Amino acid sequence: MSDFSEVLVSENSIGRKLDEMAEAIRRDYEGQDLLLVGVLKGAVMVMADLARRMPPHVQMDWMAVSSYGSGTKSSGVVRILKDLDADLTGRHVLIVEDIIDTGVTLSWLLGNLRTRGAASVEVAALLRKPKAAVVEVPCKYVGFDIPPDFVVGYGLDFAENYRTLPFVAVLKPEVYEK
């Protein structure tokens, strides 16, 4: 029996959407020094596929923060598990996220990175759940607005599983309510 009730975003739609997002980003940052900041681990796939569509002097760095345990509910507590290697002073920073759910994690992260002297800090997210928003987060580039169901795949996990899927699917509640 499948663990998914529905494939929400297919591999092809993700690819086409990333083409559009990358074009907008390349245009907006043309001639500027851009640092992509990926949020581990969920953003690994979107970062890899977005970065491949960028010019060669666009750089990548990584942060790991935690707002969720292994479950599906936000704890509201954000911790830095791995900080950036890069100094942000004077740099244009684009946070690359898999998903904006309540917005709590990202709003905290934006606040944190904005104290580090960057020239600008913006956000690109592949997925966003507008109905789940608790905090409004200014997000310059959004792939897909989706319903507030728990989704997995393309980097997104449930208890570390399903990250390897090339598409985004809705996880059946009976899988995480077990």
Q: Which parts of this chain interact with Mg ion (CB under 5 A)?
A: 42
Greatest extent of the chain over all pairs of C-alpha atoms, in Å: 52
Is residue 112 a contact point for ligand XMP (CB under 6 A)?
no
- Give the Å distances, CA to CA, from 146 to 19, 101, 143, 176: 19, 10, 10, 19
Is residue 167 a contact point for ligand XMP (CB under 6 A)?
no
Contact call for residues 26 and 48 (beta carbons, < 8 A): no
Find the binder of ligand XMP among 18, 25, 47, 103 (CB under 6 A): 103
CA–CA distance, 89 with 92 (Å, rounded to integer):
9
Is residue 152 a contact point for ligand XMP (CB under 6 A)?
yes
Contact call for residues 72 and 148 (beta carbons, < 8 A): no
Is residue 150 a contact point for ligand XMP (CB under 6 A)?
yes
157 is catalytic: no
Looking at the Cβ atoms of 29 and 68, the one nearer to ligand XMP is 68
Residue 152 interaction partner, one of Mg ion, ligand XMP, none, beta carbon < 5-8 Å per kind: ligand XMP
Is residue 156 a contact point for ligand XMP (CB under 6 A)?
yes
Which residues fall within 8 angstroms of residue 32, CB to CB, at 6 or more apart? Answer: 92
Residues engaged in binding ligand XMP (CB under 6 A): 42, 67-68, 74, 97-106, 150-152, 156-158
